[in-house]
Structure 1
Amino acid sequence: MRCLRWTSDRMFVAYRQYYLQGDEFLTEYDDCDTVERIFAGNSLAAGGPEHLTLFAGTHTGRIRLTTESRAQEPPSTGAEEWETVVDVSVCSTSGVLRLFRWGGDVEEDAGNFATAGAGWYRVRARARGRDAGETHTGDEPVEEHFLSVWPAPPGPDVVHRADDAFARAHYDPARPPGLPVHP
């Protein structure tokens, strides 16, 4: 499988959130502590079966978002271009993981990230501009995120870099890494 990429300058976030979500999320699983795990964990992403919540600096507005589905882990080079970079695991029990805006609207053009069907995936989430997004009120995005998704066994969160104000306030490298939530 080759790398499939999608980019939008108009990805809408509200309450600082957007998601990867599977078809069974609302009927089979609960998301009651995901945001708490972001604050107490890597500061950017946390998930469970059929969902991953990503946390922006922009409270309500638009961010630039690039996504890619890959057959294998992306190269680890380039982390210095991003302020915060983390890897997390998410399990797709339905074989579907789609990009959702807060409020339940799906970004159909981004496609299905569960390219290998039901099973475990890793997501490398990268962010820059979260500090600027926190105070920005215009319509043009000042914050940018990049998600890479590939099939991989579950593993603990890996923080490659945590260097924006939110990450510095909430991520503590002395804490044990977040662990994947199994179905």
Structure 2
Amino acid sequence: MDATTVDLAGEELVVEFEPAWTANALVEADPDGDGARILCGQEIGSVAVTAELWDLTPPLDAEGWQDVSEVSVTWRSAFIDFGTTDQGDDPSKRLDLPGPGDYRLRVHGRNRDDGDPRDDSDPVEEYLIQVWPGPIAEPVVHKATSRTAAYWSS
């Protein structure tokens, strides 16, 4: 993670759009497709990211998370690459998709308000990304309780 975001990219491995962050201050999809950005609470550091592929809409479980939002994105690639500055060409940093198409991304975030830079004793900033095939729909904010979300949404 670098420059305050985790980038979700397709085959081009480049996410160049600039989100406004006012819609949900957690995740925004590239309007041109094949990309999304997750806004982190720290500028440079390590975050934990878990990604899950679902066949259908997963049950919503916001307990234990500060912020939870959903967006739609059109993927032209058959995978999502979790762009970081240090991963190289590591296939374990990818989530294989059933194929190109329209998907929903639900992102959960926690420990977004714990400082920058962080001490080793601080909790790790963490994200859960759930992905499933679905038609394009409006973004949804399920939960927004972090100071980071409040700052960027104002």
State whether TM-score is above 0.5.
yes
Cross-structure match for 1:23: 11
Gaps of 5+ in 2: none
Cross-structure match for 1:6: none
Cross-structure match for 1:69: 53
* Distance change >3 Å, CA 89–CA 70, structure 1 → 2: same
Deviations 1:89-126 (A, max 9, x none): 1111133322211477455214334x221111111100
Q: Aligned residues, how many?
A: 152
C-alpha RMSD of the superposition: 2.3
Gaps of 5+ in 1: 1-12, 173-183
Q: Distance in 1 between matches of 2:150 and 2:78?
A: 35
Q: Distance in 1 between matches of 2:115 and 2:55?
A: 32
Cross-structure match for 1:14: 2
Cross-structure match for 1:160: 142
TM-score scaled by length of structure 2: 0.86
Cross-structure match for 1:131: 113
* Distance change >3 Å, CA 141–CA 64, structure 1 → 2: farther
Runs of 4+ aligned structure 1 residues displaced above 4 Å come to none
Check whether the contact 1:14–1:102 (CA below 8 A) recurs between aligned residues.
yes
Q: Any residues of structure 2 matched to 1:136-151 within 5 Å, and which?
A: 136-138=118-120, 142-151=124-133
Secondary structure of the corresponding residue to residue 65 of structure 1: strand
Secondary structure of the corresponding residue to residue 81 of structure 1: coil
1 or 2, which has the higher helix percentage? Answer: 1
The amino acid across from 1:74 in the alignment is P
Q: Any residues of structure 2 matched to 1:97-116 within 5 Å, and which?
A: 97-102=80-85, 105=88, 107-113=90-96, 115-116=97-98
Cross-structure match for 2:62: 79
Secondary structure of the corresponding residue to residue 137 of structure 2: coil
* Distance change >3 Å, CA 121–CA 50, structure 1 → 2: same
Q: Any residues of structure 2 matched to 1:90-101 within 5 Å, and which?
A: 90-101=73-84
Q: Distance in 2 between matches of 1:67 and 1:169?
A: 26
TM-score scaled by length of structure 1: 0.73
Secondary structure of the corresponding residue to residue 8 of structure 2: strand
